[in-house]
Amino acid sequence: DGCRADTGVRTGDTISPWYDPMIAKVITHGPTRATALGQLARALEETEVAGTVTNLAFLARLARHEGFAQGKVDTGLIGREIDALAAPTETPSAAKALAVIAAAGLWDGDASGFSLWQSPRRAVPFEEEAAIRVHGPGHVAVELGEEAHTCQLAEDGWRVDGAKTGARMAQSDGAITIFLHGAHRFDIPDPLARGADADASDLTLAPMPGLVKAVFVSAGDTVAAGDRLAIMEAMKMEHTMRAARDGVVAEVLVTERAQVEAGAALIRLEDEA
């Protein structure tokens, strides 16, 4: 109630980087600014988009920003508050456990093919070491490194360690998105493709379509984990690309002012000699 979503994007449409990449506009109203802003923040937090990177979390934080709520807005607000507004969203361990279940093909609770008389441990391809033990339909124990979670499918959805989650899931193109207090995307590795490509930490990839605004390294430079490599401008924001590990810049695969697509390789590292 009190919320409208306007969008002109349909299945099969291409969102071009040459035009404003807005895919939807959320509009709320209320008797007071505070009421309308509260509805706006909730609407943004409950909007589910999978398959691409969006600025939903940024917009929701902006809607709850104290200065914005008071109407104290100027052109420098986002620049001053960018660290808080664009901070990475922490991934709940419950979201990881549910992603493992989805990666194992058990989201609907189907345990066919598993023994009901014992609980063999089964490794699951995931971003980190993960395994499951199926105790029956809709009853799965998930191991994530040293963590363990008991997950059960109830009438109101999956519960993790007895707690109701209300989580939803979307899956496509080798990735799983779990909607639980925000959208959490997990790239599911193909076990048959392991070792075919360079280590993921060797490549710095564009997280979304955008303009390469600056490149700070050249081939042969030595970098440390966290060092700034380049800056991309996308969705009217600047995004800093940082080194995933220590190493030497083997190749710079992009130039400043270049327009790149999501997933484009920008910089490749190699081990220090």
Could you tell me which residues are beta bridge partners of residue 232? 212, 239
Assign 3-class secondary structure to 65-117.
Answer: CHHHHCCCCCCCHHHHHHHHHCCCCCCCHHHHHHHHHHHCCCCCCCCCCCCCC
pLDDT band, residue 191 (cuts 50/70/90): low
0.75 exceeded by pTM: no
Which residue is associated with the tokens 């490549």? 203
* Residues with Cβ within 8 Å of residue 235, at least 6 apart in sequence: 21, 55, 208, 210
CATH class held by domain 200-270: mainly beta
- pLDDT for 273 equals 67
* Span 46-92, pLDDT tens digits: 899 887 778 898 999 999 998 888 888 888 888 888 888 888 888 99
The domain limits of the chain are 3-85, 93-192, 200-270
Strand order in the sheet with 237-242: 237-242, 228-234, 210-215, 259-260
